[in-house]
Amino acid sequence: MKIAITVWNGRIAPLFDVAKQLLIVERESVRVETTLEFSDESLSQKVELLVRNGVTTIICGGISREYEEELLNANIEVISYVAGDVVDILEAWHRGVVNQRCYSMPGCMRPRVRCRGRGGRGRGLHGRGCFDNDIKD
Amino acid sequence: MADNKEQITTDTILESISDGVFTIDTSFKITSFNRAAEAITGIFREDAIGLPCSEVFKSNMCENNCPLAETFKSGKAVINRNGYIVDLEGKRLPVSVSSALLRDREGHIIGGAETFRDLREIEQLKQLRARERYGEMETNSEAMRKVLSMVPVVAPSSATLLILGESGTGKEVLARTIHQSSNQKEGPFIAVNCGALPDTLLESELFGYRKGAFTGADQDKPGRFALATGGTLFLDEIGDISEAMQIKLLRVLQEKQYEPLGSRKSEKSDARIICATNRDLEALVKKGTFRQDLYYRINIIALTIPPLRERKEDIPLLANQFLGRYNILNNKGVKGFSPAVYAQFYAYEWPGNVRELENAIERSVVLSQSDEITINDLPQEIAQVAPSIETPTQINLIEEAKRATERDFIVRSLLRNNKRVAAAANELGIHRSSLYRKMEQLKINLELL
């Protein structure tokens, strides 16, 4: 199981919809395994690529609803509205604190964490997000 | 001192304009963020200042097509580049962006300025125009649902269609909807009101004429049949044409050929014909004023649109569609209708059908002085009709009235909470997902509120 992080200039890319580069990271060891490049793929092709690469969690900046829904439908957990240096975010992920306000984009109370199903699979990050209400599906 | 004054003037101007403006330093960190930028992005300036502009703006242009980066590189301003930003709820907002360099008094580049315009209203207007043009029919009524369920069945066929219905029921809208779902949708949709033209004019309008066909015909003019080639020809008020025209029309329908006025050569027509009338064609045939052979020729498939009085379930749906449309077109912010207005709408018989409802709402929106349409804003004939004692039709409408009230309640809550669904759900005491479901059921479109 892997996580994917959108990257641009060493920071989390501002918008998942048009992000070109992702780091594929092993979930437990938090070791960067490879990078994934997006070019002109459609939304469903992007999701298929992520699934094929064993990605079960995405960490990204802004994301539009349709993209988020498509990822959730593919059972990919989405941690969005995250901002910061990729290294810092990976470290925060490792410590299980990536959902804290200091890692969020401006205007958000904290990064948004969404996944389908009740169990969740992250590091105790579920249920709180950009807004101060329950956003778990 | 003079510099200070200049700065105050600039700040005042920036705060008063409706376009979002932010400035950045040479490392793309935000140095100022005006009031409109706060309103469009939903981010306070104190949260934005000092951060990379891409993380505040979250646009599809930031990573690959940044106007400011381009301006820094070329030294030239970028004007009106269209794209979108994604807000904090994941909604895409269309924007038009321009960028320019900022220099100090010595001419050194100290940063850049980006202005962005919220294009939502313009996009909505485009959609509304498109809707008017192409027709987008929605319904809550069983009778109307039956008619609409026929659209995908009849659209792909090239058979002549007949649409029946009282004046103002939306026959042309239905014809456009059929055209848009048909195989010839890429072709033109040409509408002709046959009842509005005298015979000679109608003939030249439909079939066209050749140069010299009559005095004043100084050049060839194609008729509507020719213009509709590869598309659909909609002949409205077909019941009103003369017997001579009926014969000519029958020939085109039978042989798919016609002769323009003054021409000896037949022209072929492949346009799909949709006829419509508000008259009882069968009765006209019995009376002898409408040819039986033409009647059979056009009555291959007939769709009858029920009058509005027989589908009052659609009144809240249509009323809110029209309210949204005329709010935008008249730059008004009317949020809904008072319950008494709905009572009048249900009691009124709507002889002019949907068109009359649309006109009544347009008038009410224009006249309304408050955020709600009241009985005083309605046309006299609708305002004065006495809501009668419950009739069987009205009993059936109780559910609809309940829906309308519920809708109104939710819309008000959403507007009170600045269209934030989570906050409205909290106020209404329901879960956000339940509110989304309700909004979908009640056809509440946040964009149009």
Nearest CA in chain A to B43: A107
Residue B309 DSSP symbol: G
- Structural contact between residues B223 and B268, judged by C-beta atoms closer than 8 angstroms: no
CA distance B296 to B282: 10
Q: How far is CA B57 from CA B21, B205, B448, in A?
A: 11, 54, 24
Mark yes or no for CB contact A65/B90 under 8 Å: yes
Tell me the pLDDT of chain B averaged across its residues.
86
| Interface predicted TM-score (ipTM) | 0.87
- Structural contact between residues A13 and A61, judged by C-beta atoms closer than 8 angstroms: yes
- Please tell me the predicted confidence (pLDDT) of residue B411: 83
Please write the tens of the pLDDT for every residue from B331-390: 777 888 988 898 889 889 999 999 999 999 999 998 888 888 999 999 989 988 876 544
- Please tell me the predicted confidence (pLDDT) of residue B136: 59
CA–CA min distance B100, chain A (Å): 22
Nearest CA in chain A to B39: A107
Q: How far is CA B400 from CA B144, B343, B375, B436, in A?
A: 15, 11, 20, 20
Mark yes or no for CB contact B88/A64 under 8 Å: no
Mark yes or no for CB contact A68/B62 under 8 Å: no
* Assigned token pair, B149: 């369920």
Phi, psi of B267 (to 5 degrees): -110, 145
Segments in B29-150 forming alpha helices (H): 35-41, 45-48, 53-57, 67-74, 120-134, 142-149
- Report yes or no: A72 at the B interface, CB cutoff 8 Å: no
**Chain B residues close to A17, C-beta within 8 Å:** 60, 86
Nearest CB to B92; choose among A13, A64, A108: A64
- Report yes or no: A10 at the B interface, CB cutoff 8 Å: no
CATH top-level class for B2-118? alpha beta
Mark yes or no for CB contact B60/A13 under 8 Å: no
Please state which of the ranges A6-10, B113-117, B438-442 shows the lowest mean pLDDT: B438-442
**How confident is the model over A21-46, as a mean pLDDT?**
89
- Report yes or no: A93 at the B interface, CB cutoff 8 Å: no
Nearest CB to A14; choose among B62, B92, B432: B62
Dihedral sign, Cα of residue B45, residue A16, residue A110, residue A34: negative
**Chain A residues close to B54, C-beta within 8 Å:** 8, 14
pLDDT exceeds 50 at position B187: yes
Q: For the stretch B58-87, what's the b/e string if a residue is b when 16 or more beta carbons lie within 10 angstroms of its beta carbon?
A: bbbbbbeebbbbbbbeeeeebeebebbbbb
3-class state of residue B23 by DSSP: strand
Of the candidates B20, B34, B14, B31, which has an alpha carbon nearest to the alpha carbon of residue B93?
B20
Please write the tens of the pLDDT for every residue from B424-441: 888 787 888 888 888 888
pLDDT exceeds 70 at position B396: no
Q: Write the burial class of residue B45 (CB in 10 Å: 0-12 exposed, 13-18 middle, 19+ buried).
A: middle
CA distance B167 to A13: 56
Whether the model pTM is above 0.80: no
pLDDT exceeds 70 at position B128: no
**Chain A residues close to B43, C-beta within 8 Å:** 106-107
- Please tell me the predicted confidence (pLDDT) of residue B138: 77
CA distance B236 to B174: 12
- Report yes or no: B436 at the A interface, CB cutoff 8 Å: no
- Please tell me the predicted confidence (pLDDT) of residue A131: 43
Nearest CA in chain A to B51: A106
- Report yes or no: A87 at the B interface, CB cutoff 8 Å: no
pLDDT > 70: percent of chain B = 92
Q: Which long-range contacts (CB under 8 A, 24 or more apart) does A131-137 make?
A: A131/B88, A131/B89, A131/B422, A133/B422, A133/B425, A133/B426, A133/B432, A134/B431, A134/B432, A135/B432, A137/A72, A137/B433
- Report yes or no: B91 at the A interface, CB cutoff 8 Å: yes
DSSP H or E stretch at residue B364: helix B353-367
- Report yes or no: A108 at the B interface, CB cutoff 8 Å: yes
**How confident is the model over B209-226, as a mean pLDDT?**
82
CA distance A11 to A5: 10
- Report yes or no: B47 at the A interface, CB cutoff 8 Å: yes
Of the candidates B225, B243, B242, B226, which has an alpha carbon nearest to the alpha carbon of residue B234?
B225
Residues of chain B with CATH 3.30.450.20: 2-118
* Assigned token pair, A68: 């988020």
β-strands B372-373, B336-337 pairing? parallel
**Chain B residues close to A11, C-beta within 8 Å:** 52, 55
- Please tell me the predicted confidence (pLDDT) of residue A75: 92
CA–CA min distance A102, chain B (Å): 12
Nearest CA in chain B to A136: B433
Q: Which long-range contacts (CB under 8 A, 24 or more apart) does B104-110 make?
A: B109/B26, B109/B72, B110/B25, B110/B26
CA distance B284 to B291: 8
Cα A110 from chain centre: 13
**Chain B residues close to A61, C-beta within 8 Å:** 55, 58
DSSP H or E stretch at residue B319: helix B315-329
3-state secondary structure labels for all residues of chain A: CEEEEEEECCEECCEHHHCCEEEEEECCCCCEEEEEECCCCCHHHHHHHHHHCCEEEEECCECCHHHHHHHHHCCCEEEECECCEHHHHHHHHHHCCCCCHHHECCCCCCCEEECCCCCCCCCCCCCCCCCCCCCCC
Residue identified by tokens 């992250």 is A122
Does the domain made of A2-114 have the CATH classification 3.30.420.130?
Answer: yes
Spell out the domain ranges in chain A.
2-114
Mutate to test the interface with A, among B55, B418, B436 (most CBs of A within 10 A): B55
CA–CA min distance A47, chain B (Å): 18
Residue identified by tokens 């209708």 is B337
3-class state of residue B360 by DSSP: helix
Please state which of the ranges A17-31, B111-125, B238-252, B344-358 shows the lowest mean pLDDT: B111-125
Of the candidates B198, B255, B196, B195, which has an alpha carbon nearest to the alpha carbon of residue B225?
B255
Mutate to test the interface with B, among A6, A12, A18 (most CBs of B within 10 A): A18
Of the candidates B332, B337, B294, B288, which has an alpha carbon nearest to the alpha carbon of residue B317?
B337
CA–CA min distance A15, chain B (Å): 6
Residues of chain B with CATH 3.40.50.300: 142-305
Mark yes or no for CB contact A20/B64 under 8 Å: yes
Please write the tens of the pLDDT for every residue from A80-137: 999 999 999 999 998 999 999 999 999 988 999 998 754 445 554 544 444 433 333 3
Of the candidates B62, B365, B436, B35, which has an alpha carbon nearest to the alpha carbon of residue A12?
B62
Q: Which CATH number fits the domain B142-305, given the four candidates 3.30.930.10, 3.40.50.300, 3.20.20.140, 3.40.50.11750?
A: 3.40.50.300
Mark yes or no for CB contact B55/A19 under 8 Å: no
Architecture category of domain B309-448 in CATH? Orthogonal Bundle (1.10)
- Report yes or no: B144 at the A interface, CB cutoff 8 Å: no
Mark yes or no for CB contact B60/A18 under 8 Å: yes
CA distance B375 to B333: 18
Of the candidates B58, B56, B53, which has an alpha carbon nearest to the alpha carbon of residue B99?
B53
- Report yes or no: A62 at the B interface, CB cutoff 8 Å: yes
Of the candidates B62, B89, B55, B448, which has an alpha carbon nearest to the alpha carbon of residue A64?
B89
Nearest CA in chain A to B61: A18
Residue identified by tokens 């969005």 is A80
CA distance B241 to B425: 57
- Structural contact between residues B153 and B181, judged by C-beta atoms closer than 8 angstroms: no
CB atoms inside a 10 Å sphere around CB B399: 11
Of the candidates B410, B415, B344, which has an alpha carbon nearest to the alpha carbon of residue B377?
B344
Cα B58 from chain centre: 29
Confidence of residue B127 (pLDDT cuts 50, 70, 90): low
Residues of chain B with CATH 1.10.8.60: 309-448
Mark yes or no for CB contact B432/A65 under 8 Å: no
- Report yes or no: A136 at the B interface, CB cutoff 8 Å: no
CA distance B366 to B329: 10
Nearest CB to B58; choose among A15, A130, A134: A15
Nearest CB to A14; choose among B58, B88, B431: B58
Question: Higher confidence at residue B321 or residue B386?
Answer: B321
**Chain B residues close to A80, C-beta within 8 Å:** 90
Would you list the DSSP string of B236-253?
E-GGGS-HHHHHHHHHHH
